[in-house]
């Protein structure tokens, strides 16, 4: 994970900085009564609403917020939002909200947290390594989503919106950063209106950086060395006041060199390791979105959101994490996603408001073949002695209809009802698994269909102009899927996962608009919870299964923002608990034969009753706080120091909660700091991330541990125009 804080600003961020700078140029106020927080809006529900009067648990960050807190990619988001963890270990990532999302490295399990880029559901759990640059806003919604947006999510959703073109003027920014580990980063954006109805915005980001690791051994590749390149083009056309056409496309070529790792139970410095295997982590992808909206005379808006994504991800690693063994892993994933969403949205200012939506997505994930019986996906135990190859297509197709209706019972009381019906098809299309040394070829050609109706009932109560409370009951659903075949038996299916979520929330505005708070509680029950554990009959082979009993997750979340003239403060925290249902599971790390029936066991050293165990990647406590103060230096200059602290409590990386096998991910405390000097249209910043240089393990996967980044520091110079 990269957590460098650097002030390469988006145009929105720069405008905000300019506003703050203009304030700094003004004489000090006799009273701070005029200082208030600006209104924060949520757009994720396909209409714009005030966060303080919207029934959703959310963290909303502007482009300025992202740069202030050092959130330059997905990995740093966990240090700026409660109940959020990100484990980045290579080709995919484990992105979890409230312990739900992605916790197993397999394409068989769907994701519980959906990331939207400019309204389009992005690649699920892959191709998310690109940097955040020229961003307008980021909205992280916690809990099940699906009655107001295209894709369904059981754990949460992230809506990232890049800066749109505007018709105001030619404007933009350019930024350059130098840091330790030979880091060089440049980025910028330019906006230019071509006419009163047509505007274009171009943006780009380039970064190179050396590795954090010292590696000995005859390894291959450039592990941990970064060469990241991204460009984006946006076009806005408004031929009439009623019609708006917005097109965005971006190209990303992200080469991270590989993810150095060593055995999970190793006690050495995790930045000083040995390896003799391959290292590669290279994503190349294109993502495009077309958003067309038309407002009818009666105020109803028809919106079309079309998305197309195409990418190739290559990953390889030393699977044993040492130079002693020769276990290796190679993988190439080709993925193409097409999606289409239609919305029909009522006007906002009326007693009855509503939204209707249609959604379709085709996600084709391909593991390409070479010459029979080999493929790009290869596991060696050890390499060239016992090899496993896999190739084939694993398409997923989803069609859904959804809607939400809001009715004002009075000026202060509102009821909302939402529903979603989805039909999903999951296919293993001519999938082969081969063991060439044994002459074994396994073939899979299966299809699984799933359909489900889910809903949501919400009651909103505006106590007064400054206090808003809400409560809702929502159901959610994650489709089942297909396991890969193994040496002993044909591939087995696994069932869908269902949930019911109860939430209460209170949002308040105090001190004449200078303080805002958001407090919420949730209680979620999952039925047939999907987990990846040992096969019931052959535990040394892993497969996805459903936990038989109810799995319960519950918690409290709170956040606050304060603004007192030059002083700004933000704080957020979460306390949670999770208990897995009654279920016997076999730990695939402890190979044995025999059976482990999910209901009857029998219990043994390997066949464990996981009832009451904590869900993986669900820390019981998270906390973050940030504070900054803008000093007016006169003459249009200001100096702003800022410090951020984040704590993520310990969490388990496996549902077996076996610390002796390395399942316990220790807590981490991260401190970031910046000092920013601003004058006119120039900004100079000095930064440090992980200021205390804490050594910690950021992720665990396949018996390997991945160290979080050490202390980084540097300077950034930004010019706006």
Instruction: Give me the percent of the chain exceeding a pLDDT of 90.
Output: 68
SS (H, E, C) 326-389: CCEEEEEEEEEEEEEEEEEECCCCCCEEEEEEEEEEEEEEEECECCCCCECEEEECCCCCCEEE
CA distance 616 to 618: 5
Q: pLDDT at position 142, please?
A: 92
What is the secondary structure of 10-34 as a DSSP string? -HHHHHHHHHHHHHHHSPPPS-STT
Average pLDDT value for the chain: 89
Say how many residues make up the chain: 721
Please state which architecture CATH assigns to domain 11-720: Beta Barrel (2.40)
Q: pLDDT at position 18, please?
A: 32
Stated as kind and residue range, the H or E segment containing 406 is strand 396-408
210: nearest Cα among 180, 185, 177, 187: 180
pLDDT at residue 599 greater than cutoff 90: no
CA distances from 408 to 348, 355, 420, 471 (A): 12, 15, 22, 15
Q: 113-117 and 156-162 as β-strands: parallel, antiparallel, unpaired? A: parallel
Burial class (CB in 10 A: 0-12, 13-18, 19+), 544: buried
CA distance 149 to 355: 10
Least confident of 26-40, 335-349, 586-600, 696-710: 26-40
Least confident of 105-119, 120-134, 190-204, 576-590: 105-119
Indicate the Cα dihedral angle 18, 19, 20, 25, nearest 10°: 90
* H-helix segments, 390-539: none
CA distance 95 to 324: 32
Q: pLDDT at position 560, please?
A: 97
Domains in the chain: boundaries: 11-720
CA distance 600 to 590: 19
Phi-psi region of 418 (alpha: psi -120 to 50; beta: other; left: phi over 0): beta
pTM for this entry: 0.89
pLDDT at residue 231 greater than cutoff 50: yes
Model confidence at 47, pLDDT cuts 50, 70, 90, reads confident
Q: pLDDT at position 128, please?
A: 83
Q: pLDDT at position 428, please?
A: 87
| Coil/strand/helix, residue 100 | strand
pLDDT tens for residues 135-179? 999 999 998 887 777 777 888 889 999 999 999 999 999 999 999
């Amino acid at each position: 994970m990269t957590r460098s804080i650097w002030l390469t600003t988006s145009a929105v961020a720069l405008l905000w900085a300019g506003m703050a700078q203009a304030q700094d140029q003004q004489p000090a106020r006799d009273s701070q009564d005029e200082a208030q927080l600006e209104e924060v809006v949520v757009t994720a529900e396909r209409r714009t609403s005030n966060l303080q009067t919207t029934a959703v648990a959310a963290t909303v960050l502007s482009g300025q917020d992202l740069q202030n807190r050092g959130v330059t990619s997905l990995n740093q988001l966990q240090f700026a939002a409660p109940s959020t963890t990100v484990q980045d270990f290579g080709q995919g990532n484990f992105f979890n909200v409230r312990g739900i999302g992605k916790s197993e490295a397999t394409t068989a399990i769907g994701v519980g947290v959906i990331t939207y880029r400019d309204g389009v559901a992005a690649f699920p759990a892959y191709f998310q390594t690109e940097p955040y640059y020229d961003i307008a806003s980021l909205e992280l919604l916690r809990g099940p989503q699906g009655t107001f947006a295209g894709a369904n999510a059981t754990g949460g959703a992230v809506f990232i919106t890049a800066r749109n073109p505007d018709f105001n003027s030619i404007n933009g920014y350019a930024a350059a950063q130098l840091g330790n580990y030979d880091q060089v980063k440049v980025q910028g954006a330019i906006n230019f209106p071509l006419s009163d109805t047509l505007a274009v915005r171009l943006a780009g980001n380039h970064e190179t950086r050396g590795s954090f690791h010292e590696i000995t051994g005859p390894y291959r590749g450039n592990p941990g060395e970064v060469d990241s390149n991204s460009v984006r083009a946006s076009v806005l056309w408004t031929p009439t006041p009623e019609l708006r056409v917005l097109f965005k496309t971006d190209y990303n070529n992200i080469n991270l060199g590989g993810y150095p790792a060593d055995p999970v139970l190793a006690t050495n410095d995790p930045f000083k390791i040995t390896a003799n295997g391959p290292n590669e982590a290279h994503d190349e992808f294109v993502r495009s979105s077309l958003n067309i909206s038309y407002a009818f005379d009666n105020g109803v808006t028809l919106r079309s959101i079309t998305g197309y994504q195409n990418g190739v991800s290559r990953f390889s690693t030393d699977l044993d994490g040492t130079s002693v063994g020769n276990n290796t892993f190679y993988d190439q994933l080709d993925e193409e996603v097409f999606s289409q969403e239609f919305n029909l949205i009522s006007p906002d200012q009326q007693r009855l408001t509503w939204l209707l939506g249609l959604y379709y997505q085709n996600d084709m994930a391909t593991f390409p073949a070479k010459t029979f019986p080999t493929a790009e996906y290869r596991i060696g135990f050890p390499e060239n002695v016992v090899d496993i190859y896999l190739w084939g297509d694993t398409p997923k197709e989803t069609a859904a209809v959804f809607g939400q209706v809001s009715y004002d019972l009075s000026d202060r009381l509102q009821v909302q009802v939402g529903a979603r019906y989805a039909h999903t098809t999951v296919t293993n299309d001519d999938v082969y698994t081969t063991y060439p040394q044994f002459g074994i070829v396994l073939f899979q050609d299966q299809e699984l269909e799933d359909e489900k109706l889910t809903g949501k009932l919400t009651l909103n109560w505006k106590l007064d102009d400054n206090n808003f409370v809400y409560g809702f009951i929502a159901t959610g659903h994650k489709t089942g899927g297909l396991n890969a075949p193994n040496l002993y038996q044909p591939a087995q299916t696994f069932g869908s996962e269902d949930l019911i979520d109860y939430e209460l929330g209170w949002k308040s505005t105090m001190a004449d608009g200078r303080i805002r708070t958001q407090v919420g509680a949730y209680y979620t029950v999952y039925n047939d919870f999907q987990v990846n554990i040992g096969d019931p009959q052959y535990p040394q082979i892993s497969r996805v299964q459903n936990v038989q009993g109810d799995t319960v997750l519950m918690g409290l979340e709170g956040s606050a923002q304060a603004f007192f003239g030059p002083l700004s403060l933000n704080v957020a925290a979460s306390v949670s608990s999770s208990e897995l249902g009654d279920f016997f599971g076999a730990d695939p790390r402890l190979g044995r034969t025999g059976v482990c029936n999910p209901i009857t066991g029998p219990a043994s050293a390997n066949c464990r009753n996981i009832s009451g165990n904590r869900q993986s990647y669900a820390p019981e406590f998270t906390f973050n706080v940030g504070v900054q103060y803008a000093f007016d230096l006169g003459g249009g200059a200001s100096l702003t120091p800022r410090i951020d602290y984040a704590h993520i409590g310990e969490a388990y990386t496996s549902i077996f909660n076996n610390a002796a096998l390395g399942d316990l991910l220790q807590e981490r405390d991260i401190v970031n700091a910046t000092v920013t000097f601003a004058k006119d249209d120039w900004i100079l910043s000095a930064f440090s991330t992980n200021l205390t240089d804490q050594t910690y393990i950021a992720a665990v996967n396949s018996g390997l541990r991945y160290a979080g980044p050490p202390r980084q520091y540097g300077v950034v110079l930004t010019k706006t125009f």
